[in-house]
Amino acid sequence: MKGNMHNAGVNMNSAISPVELAKAYRLVNHGPTVLVSACHDGVEDVMAAAWCCALDFAPPKLTVVLDKATKTRELLENSGYFAIQVPTAAQLELTNQVGSISLRDNPDKLAHCQVELFCTGESDVPLVAGCAAWLLCKLIPESHNQQTYDLFIGEVIGAWADSRVFSEGHWHFEDADPQWRSLHHVAGGHYYAIGDALDAKES
């Protein structure tokens, strides 16, 4: 099934480049709202999550908070894998919609939200096309955290970024088209884009 749906490998878009795992934390270090994707038994879902955070450098880990009502949570609990991706200002409506509509209520959610998926070829976890960066994660099961806090921990086992906005281990928001800027959710449909670069002196 997935072969038909996702014939695009990462290499189809030559702007997508691997990010070394030691620098994968930088993809989320600035606190963007992310998209979470997962699949199990032929079912795929994507949701938005503002509560995603780096947890460790090496091996890279991250946390993400997933409400019990979400289908994406069920899929990653069953498959043990998920992806975190960094959507862009160009994906504002997509991001807000996948964060507002549930696959449980609308089986056509992904088509309705105009989500295009692809796979890396190394994994069947679906990735969202058009994002600025992708982190493929293996769930580290922590039942107490998951049940008590809806808190999930993943080890990052693969990372990629679009070289038009992230290259050589650094974001280049200041030099890229503003449509590449990451989204930072506040509440409701209200977001901020990431802004100007600021460099501190050596301390």
Binding region for a second copy (CB under 8 A) = 23, 26, 29-33, 50-56, 61, 63, 65, 89, 92-93, 95-97, 100-101, 144-145, 149-151, 153, 169-171, 173, 181, 183-187, 189-203
> Can you read off the two tokens belonging to residue 192?
């901020």
Nearer to a second copy, 2 or 149 (CB): 149
- Quote the least distance from Cβ 107 to a second copy, whole Å: 17
- Residue 176 to residues 77, 88, 146, 154: CA-CA distances in angstroms? 36, 12, 38, 30
Nearer to a second copy, 10 or 28 (CB): 28
Residue 59: asked if its preceding bond is cis (omega within 30°), the reply is yes
Residue count of the chain: 203
CA angle at 98 for the pair 95 and 99, rounded to the nearest 5°: 80
Nearer to a second copy, 67 or 122 (CB): 67
Q: Are strands 43-49 and 52-57 parallel, antiparallel or unpaired?
A: unpaired
- Quote the least distance from Cβ 86 to a second copy, whole Å: 11
The answer to whether 129 and 94 have CB atoms below 8 angstroms apart is: no
Q: Are strands 117-118 and 151-162 parallel, antiparallel or unpaired?
A: unpaired
- Quote the least distance from Cβ 16 to a second copy, whole Å: 20
- Quote the least distance from Cβ 108 to a second copy, whole Å: 14
Nearer to a second copy, 118 or 152 (CB): 152
Nearer to a second copy, 10 or 139 (CB): 139
- Quote the least distance from Cβ 65 to a second copy, whole Å: 6
